[in-house]
């Protein structure tokens, strides 16, 4: 496959996959346990999910490594399995890809507040991300996706780790923002402008946002990013804020709704789109069709 960043600079819009957690739940994962335990015990589930998203039209498939930093894994007593857990997740996706999709390693927050707000030391957080990434580079990853970050210091440490371990692998870093009277801010108060400056300075190739309150919310965030950067933008909305129903959370934004709103998101100059919490292969199919209509002249 052509190198991802070349395609983006040539103007291609690339579709990424949707949520992992909800897919895992349907296949027997019990929230409360580490979602990454599946990587060791049932890797065939991960291959199955990757195949579904690939068939739906996603060209970027993320491995189940979101909580794969040893600091996060230590909360489940799994930190000594960091290497095996991360490698197995990437291997599972790699197994269903035949030069027809990019395999991404997902890097999420370490699950602890950093000093001076909490106890986690920056050196340890950096070392944790380095260890996680070292476990996957040899297996073969096509991009690194740092996501759902709210603390810019932590996000920058993850970017630095990726640049240390895998300087040549395309690197996306996305944060999660709320809408406040002071503009879009993460829980830790980071503005889009701060995020652009910090993440670009640390060496990210692609910036953006994931999760949040659905596609319209993320469309506003994309516009704000475009005020501050010309870098490739990756935007992955969740399917709205879940409503609590007796059988568990229900996400309000249907595939048709997200597909209908996709055009407006793309008009903000977004280069990679996909889904976050609550999105499914059906959402990705609908987005693929909407994307085809958007990019076909007269379509």
Partner 1 sequence: MELMEQISESLQKGDAPAVDRLTRDALEQGTAPGQILDDGLLVGMAVIGQKFKAHEVFLPHVLLAAKAMYAGLDILGPLMEGDERLSRGKVVIGTVQGDIHDIGKNLVGIMLRGAGYEVIDLGKDVAPARFIDVAIEEDAQFVGLSTLLTTTRPVMKQVIELARERGIYDKVRILVGGAPLNRAYAEEIGAHAYCFDGMNAVDCVNGFMNRS
Asked if 31 touches partner 1 (CB under 8 A), the answer is yes
> What's the rounded Cα separation, in Å, for the pair 211 and 115?
25
Would you count residue 244 as binding partner 1 (CB under 8 A)?
Answer: yes
Backbone phi, psi, residue 257, to 5°: -65, -50
Q: Which residues contact 205 (CB under 8 A, 6 or more apart)?
A: 5, 170, 171, 172, 231, 232
C-alpha angle 172-4-40 in degrees, rounded to nearest 5: 65
Contacts of 267 (CB under 8 A, 6+ apart): none
**Pairing mode of beta strands 183-185, 178-180:** antiparallel
Interface residue with partner 1, options 140, 249, 252, 263 (CB under 8 A):
249
User: Does the protein bind partner 1 through residue 185 (CB under 8 A)?
Assistant: yes
Name, in order, each residue with C-beta under 8 angstroms of 116's C-beta and a sequence gap of 6 or more.
none
C-beta atoms surrounding 289 within 10 Å: 14
For the beta carbon of residue 42, count every other beta carbon within 10 angstroms.
Answer: 16
Using the rule CB under 8 A, is 257 a contact of partner 1? no
- Return the residue of 6, 100, 189, 201 that touches partner 1, per CB under 8 A: 189
269, 43 contact by CB (below 8 A): no
Which of the ranges 28-36, 57-65, 138-146, 284-292 carries the binding residues for partner 1, by CB under 8 A? 28-36
Site size with partner 1, rule: CB under 8 A: 21
Considering only residues 11, 182, 227, 298, which one is a binding residue for partner 1 as defined by CB under 8 A? 182
Question: Who's near 260: CB < 8 A, 6+ residues apart?
Answer: 290
Which CB, 32 or 299, lies closer to partner 1?
Answer: 32
Q: Is 76 in the site for partner 1 (CB under 8 A)?
A: yes
Among 181, 297, 298, 299, binds partner 1 (CB under 8 A): 181
For partner 1, what does the binding mask look like between residues 209 and 238, x meaning CB under 8 A?
------------------------------
Summarize the chain as % helix, strand, coil (round to 5). Answer: 45, 20, 35
- Looking at the Cβ atoms of 250 and 256, the one nearer to partner 1 is 250
Closest approach of partner 1 to the CB of residue 180, in Å: 4
Stretch that binds partner 1, among 83-91, 96-104, 198-206, 241-249 (CB under 8 A): 241-249
The least distance separating partner 1 from the CB of residue 288, rounded to whole angstroms, comes to 30
Token pair 């997902």 in the structure block, residue: 106
CB nearer to partner 1: pick between 201 and 249: 249
Is 298 a binding residue for partner 1 by CB under 8 A? The answer is no
Interatomic CA distance for residues 201 and 281, integer angstroms: 35
Binding mask 77-116 for partner 1 (x = CB under 8 A): ----------------------------------xxx--x
> Of the two residues 8 and 73, which places its CB atom closer to partner 1 in the complex?
73
Q: Estimate the crossing angle of helix 122-137 against helix 82-94, to 10 degrees.
A: 40
Give CA–CA dist 20/61, Å, rounded.
Answer: 10
Tell me the closest approach of the beta carbon of residue 35 to partner 1, in angstroms. 12
Q: Which residues bind partner 1 (CB under 8 A)?
A: 30-32, 75-76, 111-113, 116-118, 180-182, 185, 187-189, 244, 248-249
């Amino acid at each position: 496959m052509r190198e991802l960043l070349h395609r983006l600079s040539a103007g291609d819009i690339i579709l990424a996959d949707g949520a992992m957690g909800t897919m895992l739940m349907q296949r027997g994962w019990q929230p409360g346990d580490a979602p990454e335990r599946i990587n060791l015990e049932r890797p065939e589930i991960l291959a199955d999910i990757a195949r579904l998203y690939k068939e739906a039209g996603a060209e970027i498939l993320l491995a189940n490594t979101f909580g794969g930093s040893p600091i996060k894994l230590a909360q489940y007593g799994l930190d000594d399995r960091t290497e095996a857990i991360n490698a197995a997740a990437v291997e599972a996706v790699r197994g269903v890809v035949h030069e027809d999709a990019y395999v991404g390693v997902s890097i999420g927050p370490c699950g602890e507040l950093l000093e001076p707000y909490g106890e986690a030391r920056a050196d340890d957080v950096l070392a944790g991300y380095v260890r996680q990434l070292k476990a996957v580079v040899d297996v073969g990853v096509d991009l690194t996706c740092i996501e759902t970050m709210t603390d810019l210091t932590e996000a920058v440490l993850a970017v630095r780790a990726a640049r240390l371990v895998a300087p040549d692998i395309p690197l996306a870093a996305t944060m999660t923002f709320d809408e406040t009277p002071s503009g879009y801010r993460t829980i830790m108060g980071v503005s889009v402008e701060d995020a652009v400056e910090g993440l670009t300075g640390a060496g990210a190739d692609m910036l953006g946002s994931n999760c949040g309150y659905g596609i319209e919310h993320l469309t506003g965030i994309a516009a704000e990013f475009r005020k501050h950067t010309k870098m490739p933008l990756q935007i992955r909305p969740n399917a709205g804020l879940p409503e609590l129903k007796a059988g568990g959370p229900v996400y309000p934004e249907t595939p048709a709704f997200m597909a209908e709103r996709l055009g407006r998101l793309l008009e903000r100059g977004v280069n990679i789109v996909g889904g976050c919490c609550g999105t499914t292969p059906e959402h990705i199919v609908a987005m693929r069709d909407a994307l085809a209509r958007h990019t076909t002249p007269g379509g």
